[in-house]
Structure 1
């Protein structure tokens, strides 16, 4: 057992929270109880986060009991699955919370789902070529105006028509999930697509147990009623002062963040929940990273990977149920461990994030900085990308160095190793490095191996995100959270571009504009940004990993 005991309900247990809270000068939990926060949150009190957040909170607390309303979807989902029984390849076009929850659900329960949350033309083209004759596309967007999702919808529509389908036949291949009255709802009607209306009082990152999480999962073969059962079994505990795992977790996250451990390493303990860290990452980062404060989630590959511990890191493991007498952690000794069924995990983390928002004094439901990169992208698509000259060329890599305010007087790097060393040296004792890869996350998957290498080389927290999906999650934290980050952006040459039907740009141009727009937003905040453009993707990734391993060996030697 971890220090700090265990608090649980409905098969979900949080281990170690008492010790984390006790390490703070004042008890976050006592303060929360003194203000009756658990009961007020359970009854959806929008005043919990202060007057500035009240209007937003009033229309964003549906997640507290959305699992009950979601039961109304079950007959519709059964009919939809029967209607589309001849289409057994389910593609989900969605970003952020619209795609990460179904990805966790289907991976954990062993059901096939193709998640398309990229603008990389190679990855989009590969998806379009995969079992098109058996494909149904779930297009998921709360606002109905997400540029990536709209581009995917256009690409699949054109692909179906090019394959010889009539417009009516093509329309049948789409299931649209969106808020009532959104532009996408009207588009669904025009296409002749199936429309599933989502819960309008739930924000995207809290939407795991709404239509956004359930529709693609059900079409992929998941018995989603079980997830709702698991959440409902837990819900009764969330109003209580005791035996409330959501309160224990939220108080611990908030207490740690306000006492110097504002980075949270998320480590799977190997007990059967696959990929939950990516979902927690977007929930925590986008909910708390604003007004110069926040909790930085760091998804770590496994308990032995570098970056799971540190003086400013709260180590948290997660997984399914544990057998009696088992020690939580999966081979690492965390400060916190959260174990239990997936539906309960979703609700617990949503509740805990809202509780942490109370402790931090922020609005956990807005995302004030997310639109910035979107606006930059639109402007660059209209005006064209800036002309840039590389700072250095190293093999198949062009390097573009943009020093932050603290590194203005540092020597200009002349090669890859020097540039990486300079980037890591700028982290100091409190910074973090974010690796942002605008690549194909399947064909260029090896790029992800750079995260643990740079974590070992720097001794600091290092995150890794595939662009543009991270823009809908950690992108908010990068811009609105503590300005302690340095950024490594990786882009790649496009050898076979793909047009976005009906638009004056290609997927490659959209991807490049998104990367450039995000670089601009970060540089304007005085942060160091190193862009590595891989003129040969495979060779460039290998060269990058080689350089990172050299730095790791130097650190360890």
Structure 2
């Protein structure tokens, strides 16, 4: 074993390794948590762990601790449903946040095809509607039953099936609805004649990976979801222990590191068998901890050698299925933490660790007090129209709104506004497939600024890091990118289009950030392909701060 690591190995199907540096910081935190009996209380679903103010919320949000047991009741239903829908082999998941990110990780990791629709971009929605419609089953997932994006997707697909000549009853057969008991969506589903599977009501959306939200779409796509439950069950045996309890150790390390100034968490796929878990963990950690001016900012980093994986205020964590002790192969990166194990175990480990980190930070890890702000702004804008704004510059295919008079100056100013302890958030209200190159900005800006830079597709990130942006430490600098819509798409039964909804969501989020007096640069692409190329070129010309 490397002298740099304290290794924790156990029988729960997962290994956590922690560097001696962060283990030493966490030692007093671990001692206090043990003295308070936290492992046994968490395993017993004790709602008092996060203080009196959080008790009522925690009392109805701890089902994730043992949801793998109750989820087994779904297995016969899923087998029957898959047989019933055997002719529909193209599975589309319409869901946001926790309802879509876990299924996406499961399908990517286990090599099954699943189309995830978590956008309001009309181009991306239209492309999904054109893809194998006659063989499509749409899984509509919404815990509350009132998610505007998901409801819009349901309406668009229903209209597409009807336009293709299906009767209402025939169209209803193409839908599987996953929601909480008694939600408005349950009633709508039954009116449609859709298949309905009810979720575990005592599990919040971001903790729902092993509930119907994670299992239904992936089972329909061909995943053996019983194996995930088996992995979680094996791991659950470690949750009560004072030693060999990886989730407890990981949570203490996350919380202690944040208290010692490492409040950004770089999540790096180590290439050893788990794909995309960082995106799921990002929404879990950001939405759970980013509130009351506190929080841990997850930063999903492309590779172990990408800019932003390390830094003085960054805790570097690698994630994978199996990895030997030491640096990530071929990278030379020695992480502070590495977590390796089966996917079902990973889900439960990170959920429990996040709950423990919440206690260390003194926050309620189960609420999301600032998420509704942008939604309320969006609804008002849809009613009243987009607010007027005067551009500060027009350069090629880019219109800029801010204080600078050129693109390069605007980007430099934004990076500088992050300061020594802040971060930059890139928020792209675009098509994450057709406009995928936009994501290259994250690494470019991280290299130029030497600061942590996050990247999120809008409105997807609103159900993830959006809570942290508003409720967490107020030292973010924000780059919002919007784009001209080539061909809009109506939302059936609503007085607005997908393009108008997307623009209203972007404007609503700008208002929420502006109300906090945070640095914000809005760039609108009049031609998406040309604008993205222009933006990447400008970002690539910015000299790294450390070289100036």
> Is the structural similarity TM-score above 0.5?
yes
Residue 5 to residue 435, structure 1, CA distance change in 2 (3 Å): same
Contact 1:21 1:27 in 2 (8 A): no
| CA shift for structure 1 position 427 | 1.1
For residues 227-376 of structure 1, what are the structure 2 equivalents within 5 Å?
A: 227-322=228-323, 325-327=324-326, 329-330=328-329, 331=331, 332-376=333-377
| Match 2:410 to one of 400, 412, 419 | 419
Please give the secondary structure, in 1, of the residue aligned with 2:305.
coil
Counterpart of 1:434 in structure 2 is 425
Contact 2:6 2:23 in 1 (8 A): no
Please give the secondary structure, in 2, of the residue aligned with 1:435.
strand
Paired with 2:300 and 2:214, the residues of 1 have a C-alpha distance of 21
RMSD: 1.1
| Match 1:470 to one of 461, 464, 483 | 461
Paired with 1:387 and 1:188, the residues of 2 have a C-alpha distance of 39
Counterpart of 1:400 in structure 2 is 401
| CA shift for structure 1 position 48 | 0.2
Paired with 1:320 and 1:236, the residues of 2 have a C-alpha distance of 19
Paired with 2:136 and 2:380, the residues of 1 have a C-alpha distance of 34
Q: Which structure 1 residue ranges, 4+ long, deviate > 4 Å from structure 2?
A: 552-557
User: After alignment, is 87-96 or 387-396 more displaced?
Assistant: 387-396
Paired with 2:69 and 2:327, the residues of 1 have a C-alpha distance of 31
Contact 2:287 2:466 in 1 (8 A): yes
Contact 1:456 1:555 in 2 (8 A): no
Superposition TM-score, scaled by structure 1 size: 0.96
Paired with 1:426 and 1:136, the residues of 2 have a C-alpha distance of 46
| CA shift for structure 1 position 327 | 2.8
Paired with 1:514 and 1:22, the residues of 2 have a C-alpha distance of 44
Contact 1:377 1:513 in 2 (8 A): yes
Contact 1:93 1:153 in 2 (8 A): yes
Paired with 2:492 and 2:172, the residues of 1 have a C-alpha distance of 16
| Match 1:481 to one of 464, 472, 479 | 472
Paired with 2:262 and 2:544, the residues of 1 have a C-alpha distance of 27
Residue 494 to residue 248, structure 1, CA distance change in 2 (3 Å): same
Contact 1:263 1:298 in 2 (8 A): yes
| CA shift for structure 1 position 388 | 1.3
User: After alignment, is 245-254 or 1-10 more displaced?
Assistant: 1-10
Counterpart of 1:550 in structure 2 is 541
Residue 546 to residue 530, structure 1, CA distance change in 2 (3 Å): same
Paired with 1:497 and 1:489, the residues of 2 have a C-alpha distance of 21
Establish whether residue 493 from structure 1 lines up as the match of residue 484 from structure 2: yes
Contact 2:179 2:198 in 1 (8 A): yes
| CA shift for structure 1 position 487 | 0.1
Establish whether residue 145 from structure 1 lines up as the match of residue 146 from structure 2: yes
Contact 2:138 2:174 in 1 (8 A): yes
Contact 1:289 1:480 in 2 (8 A): yes
Establish whether residue 30 from structure 1 lines up as the match of residue 3 from structure 2: no
For residues 449-528 of structure 1, what are the structure 2 equivalents within 5 Å?
A: 449-528=440-519
Paired with 1:140 and 1:23, the residues of 2 have a C-alpha distance of 41
Please give the secondary structure, in 1, of the residue aligned with 2:50.
coil
For residues 126-141 of structure 1, what are the structure 2 equivalents within 5 Å?
A: 126-141=127-142
Contact 1:436 1:466 in 2 (8 A): yes
Gaps of 5+ in 2: none
Contact 1:454 1:552 in 2 (8 A): no
| CA shift for structure 1 position 485 | 0.2
Counterpart of 1:377 in structure 2 is 378
Residue 18 to residue 197, structure 1, CA distance change in 2 (3 Å): farther
Please give the secondary structure, in 2, of the residue aligned with 1:318.
strand
| CA shift for structure 1 position 428 | 1.1
Counterpart of 1:160 in structure 2 is 161
Deviation digits for residues 492-541 of structure 1 (CA, Å, limit 9, x no counterpart): 00110000000000000000000000000001001011000000000000
| CA shift for structure 1 position 326 | 4.5
| CA shift for structure 1 position 106 | 0.3
Paired with 1:377 and 1:103, the residues of 2 have a C-alpha distance of 27
Paired with 2:541 and 2:32, the residues of 1 have a C-alpha distance of 48
Gaps of 5+ in 1: 402-411
Equivalent residues, number: 544
Please give the secondary structure, in 2, of the residue aligned with 1:90.
strand
Counterpart of 1:57 in structure 2 is 58
Counterpart of 1:534 in structure 2 is 525
Counterpart of 1:404 in structure 2 is none
Establish whether residue 80 from structure 1 lines up as the match of residue 71 from structure 2: no
User: After alignment, is 1-10 or 29-38 more displaced?
Assistant: 1-10
Paired with 1:161 and 1:55, the residues of 2 have a C-alpha distance of 44
Residue 387 to residue 419, structure 1, CA distance change in 2 (3 Å): same
Superposition TM-score, scaled by structure 2 size: 0.98
Contact 1:426 1:486 in 2 (8 A): yes
Counterpart of 1:406 in structure 2 is none
Paired with 2:110 and 2:19, the residues of 1 have a C-alpha distance of 28
Counterpart of 2:23 in structure 1 is 21
Paired with 1:437 and 1:228, the residues of 2 have a C-alpha distance of 35
Deviation digits for residues 455-498 of structure 1 (CA, Å, limit 9, x no counterpart): 00000000000000000010000000000100000000011000
Contact 1:18 1:248 in 2 (8 A): no
Paired with 2:398 and 2:417, the residues of 1 have a C-alpha distance of 22
Contact 2:449 2:544 in 1 (8 A): no
Counterpart of 1:11 in structure 2 is 13
